Structure 1
Amino acid sequence: MNSKRVVITGLGALSALGLDVRSNWENAKNGKSGASAITYFNAEKFKTQFAAELDGFDPSLKLDRNEMKRSDLYTQYGLYAASEAMEDSGLEVSKLDSPFDAGVIWGTSQGGLNTFEKEMREFVENDSNPRFNPFFIPKFLGNMASGMISMKYGMMGINYAPVSACATSNSAIMDAFNYIKWGKAKVILTGGSEAPISEASIGGFSALKALSTRNEAPQKASRPFDIERDGFVMGEGAAAIILEEYEHAKKRGAKIYAEVVGAAMTADAYHMTATHPEGLGAFHCMKFALEEAGLTIKDVDYINAHATSTPLGDVSETKAISKLSNGEKTNLHLSSTKSMTGHLLGAAGAIEAIFSIKAITDGVIPPTINTENLDPAIPSDLEIVCQQAMEKKVKVALSNTFGFGGHNASVVFKEFI
């Protein structure tokens, strides 16, 4: 089978750093933290009382009344980001040879958890007339964002929602890449969305002791690679990426941001929530992705690390990266943008893919903020960009995501030539 080239022609994003790609990128370059005290509910009962919430999100700017009524918040985030990506790409599905040439592969880890919480609470508390909303099931399903995005734009091709915990968005991007590469689609809108700042989610992750408890200084809480890191900061939002077959993009005169050249998924097969201590699965995931791209770690200029600010995960990932180069110094720099956005769970890979792509187009590596005292367990051969952005020509960027259950997913982006 002759492989097709796969390029990126549209971007959309919203996170605690902003409600579009431009503001997200500018705030990431400037090292701004999106963390603050939780306002969505009273968090006093939990050890963690802060998160990286969206500021000023108004779905009515891009969604109609029916879309808002019939969708969970995670779906609204997805529709919002997809709208920006579609505008950015200039893509009109009606002008394609067939609507079956365009698809959607959209991920989420928790799906409509907010809807589930709300409906169960109202059912239990309403003694006089306990009932469920007719939209309860459709709103909380994890595939509904993918479905509603396809309905909005008339994309009748491949459509589904992968789930691999915090590796979900990269899994979605990889699948989209493969389907286009294999000639199964011309265009796929991919990415992920998550709305996990809820009592059940914050409470559950707190019980796992996965979240930082720096309630007195939320903006300093996410500190990947730092010796005093104590857990991740929950984040929310969405990011959308238009992947397109190169000849198709060229024919319609689309602008091209970068190219996807490799991707891989592996499993740690080790523990429900902990990463392999030596990063065995992560190592092979990156290795396989680079092999598909025809590259080695020496060709990589930037890695957007998964690095969530947890004691175990940050070390195992850096060990895996160091193993790729046999401990030798390379031209590689890495950073963790989760230090600013928080951890978007199933949407993390999508927003971090956009930061990786922008690093290529703009020649800037966003920083890891709050990392003041590097953990001595981090391999010394690695160069981590801390506190301030770094100007650097980036031809190749690799983005990592790893999830509970031992899921690993890596995607390789390359400067388009």
Structure 2
Amino acid sequence: MGKRGFRAAILHCLADPAVAGDAAWEYFADGLLVVADGKVVAVGDYTDLMSSKSASNSIAACAVVDYRDKLIVPGFIDTHIHYPQTDMIGAYGAQLLDWLESYTFPEEAKFADESHARDVAERFLNELMRNGTTTALVFGTVHPQSVDAFFQAAQQRQLRMIAGKVLMDRNAPENLRDTAEQGYTESKAQIQRWHGKDRLLYAVTPRFAPTSSREQLDKAGELLQEFPDVYLHTHLAENEAEIAWVAELFPESENYLDVYEHSGLLGQRSVFAHGVHLCDSSCERLAATNSVVAHCPTSNLFLGSGLFPLRRLQQHGVRVGLGTDVGAGTSFSMLQTMGEAYKVQQLQGESLPALEALYLATLGGAKALSLDHCIGNFKAGKEADFVVLDLAATPLLASRTAQCRTIQETLFVLNTLADDRAVAATYILGEQAQFN
């Protein structure tokens, strides 16, 4: 594929704005993103890049797609989501443990049927693309075929996705339980089949401590030892009743996180969803092991789980990503998720600037998933996954963004008012994604 340019307002992060301030981001009011063979070649001011003095002949001569009334940002990165819960999003009236029993487990039982899994995987990926999400860390179900269906659909779309089969050998319906040995064997086969194939990566996925025996958690730790570049994906300290249950099930452990650490599950590619109720010692251990917490604001609010202490975790040095947590999360839109993250901080007397929220949803998410070498911003050589945002997607959005004086104001309005309607196009490896 020859070089192509995309002309638009362009915004991306180079570092964390909470640390680096204005040096953390670049904005080009009339910018050009140059792409070739699925990778970023250059990004900068349109006039500068296209001038004969500063541009190579190939850039100056490249075909240009004109999005001058739009804003281009890197593809959004969702660090925690459940594809089997697509059809139960918005299920009414329960907190975490009741919600699992009433809605989640019956829905996930349907994924024993691979044709059902394929159907949901296609619709799930369509929703991600429609909302501008180009990479996600994804739960499957206990059924290996649920992971096969997901990875097959993602591979066809050339997506960078991470997923895994759920491990769950107790405290769940019989038709959703495996055994410690079965979970190990099936996960190992999935790793060997899918991890590192095209843009796909595997996550060892115990649902959460209450539904895995110590033996199963230890077997998960064995997988991480055997395959040190795979991920660990689970839940942590989401709900106070859940935490009390973990204390009853694992009385020998100091706290919830210690249950996982005892089995060797902490590390650079270990992502723990929620972390709403963490003690200082847990924050210190997460930081010391370079582990990650995925902040899921719409889910925490919907289930009444609590308010995520973002600043506290950052002060401890814990890496944080942003997740939708569909189906407890109420939207596939990372724009809406950024807006809810702002509100969660407001309720705690803290602030979340729009550029920092964008960082969490792009480069911060890439760093959380140890993928910032290949995605997250528009540095030359990175994979060209990006989103074209329409600032006039609705009459209200058009009138409101017209009043904005800075890109920070515009971005905050997008986080507050925009949804999938604002996504004019999603590009995967420089090619526009097709979705229904």
- TM-score, structure 2 length as denominator? 0.29
- TM-score, structure 1 length as denominator? 0.30
Structure holding more strand per residue: 2
More relative contact order, 1 or 2 (CA 8 Å, 6+ apart): 1
